[in-house]
Structure 1
Amino acid sequence: MTEPRKPIIEMPLRVRYHECDGQGIVFNANYLAYLDMATFEVERALFGSHDEALAHGADVVVAESNLRYRAPCRYDDELVVSAFLNHLGTTSLIIDFEIRRGGMVCTEATNRYVFVDPETLRKAAPPASVREAYAAFLPVQED
């Protein structure tokens, strides 16, 4: 039996009026902003803050995003954005996101991030302390 994935964070979010388009639905680009907000919450959960993550010698940049919209979100909806570590590579990581309203998954997303040196912003393997912090949330692999 496979155990359910453990989220790194679950971030509550209420849709604001200005995030909606003329159809009254959250404008698609705003979902990327929600993912960005959740990514900073991941850093807060793992390191205490974004600045502390930088002090550990690592930062991340988005290399790829993929979103699947399953149901529309609207003004004043109460959402929860969950972040799950999918993959931890040598210089990159993949985080899966779910945006839920109540028990319904409204949006599924995946971001691939590349680790960069905070000083040079060039791709670099993260220090061991950063890898260990993320690795604690890797899915359990069954044989």
Structure 2
Amino acid sequence: MSAHRFRVRVYYEDTDMAGIVYYANYLRYIERARSDWVREIGIDQLAMKAEGVVFAVRRVEADYLQPARFDDELEVETTLSKLTPARMIMAQIVRRTDDVLFRAEVTIACIGPGGKPARLPAELRLLPLTPTS
């Protein structure tokens, strides 16, 4: 499976007093990209929720490499790097053209009623992993 790409424009409200993107907003950007990817592969999260199953971020490891600034156009690249029956690990990179600004490895757990682990939807369990370079 190839990488999913999602575009984000930096708005004034995304920046801090120094005029750069506030660090927590990168987490918002990568969340939007993951949600878009899930929708694109045909998973209906509202239907999952109605069945008592949801996705939850279990772990994020992030590296802030360079600042983004007001009006930058960014691209979030998302790749699936590991799958287990109830968990997926995704690599996410935020770029401004060729410059890598932010990298994260995000572990997503699938949880069911009572917060117990649940199986990932079949559409996800059958996806090929993205080769790492």
Given the two structures, how large is their TM-score scaled by the length of structure 1? 0.81
Distance in 2 between the 1:60 and 1:30 partners?
20
Structure 1 residue 139 corresponds to structure 2 residue 113: no
Q: 1:69 maps to what in 2?
A: 64
Report how far residue 130 of structure 1 moved.
3.3
- For residue 24 of structure 2, what is the aligned residue in structure 1? 29
**How far, CA to CA, are the matches of 2:15 and 2:25 in structure 1?**
9
Gaps of 5+ in 1: none
For the residues of structure 2 that align with 1:87 and 1:98, how far apart are their CA atoms?
A: 16
Name which of 75, 87, 100 aligns with 1:105: 100
Q: Which residue of 2 aligns with 1:123?
A: 117
Output the amino acid matched with 1:100.
R
In structure 2, the residue corresponding to 1:38 is in which secondary structure?
helix
Query: Could you give the per-residue CA deviations for residues 27-86 of structure 1, whole angstroms, max 9, x where no partner exists?
Result: 001111111111110111111653355578853100011111111001100000010001
8 Å CA contact 1:56–1:130 kept in 2: the answer is: no
For 1:130 and 1:59, locate their aligned partners in 2 and report how far apart those are by CA, in whole Å: 13
Partners of 1:20 and 1:127 lie apart in 2 by: 36
Q: Percent identity?
A: 28
Distance between the aligned counterparts of 1:51 and 1:41, measured in 2? 14
Q: Which amino acid aligns with 2:84?
A: G
TM-score by length of 2: 0.86
SS at match of 1:60: strand
Which residue does the alignment assign to 1:82? 77
Quick one: structure 1 residues 46 and 113, their matched pair in 2 at CA, closer, same or farther if it must change by over 3 Å?
A: same
**Structure 1 consecutive aligned stretches of length 4 or more whose deviation exceeds 4 Å:** 52-58
CA RMSD of aligned residues (A): 2.2
> What is the CA–CA distance in structure 1 between the aligned matches of 2:111 and 2:34, rounded to whole Å?
15
Is 2:2 the counterpart of 1:6? Answer: yes
Unaligned segments of structure 2, at least 5 residues: none
The 1:121/1:130 distance shift into structure 2, 3 A limit, reads: farther
Number of residue pairs matched by the alignment:
132
Cα distance change, pair 22–78 in 1 and its aligned pair in 2 (3 A) = same
Paired residue for 2:55? 60
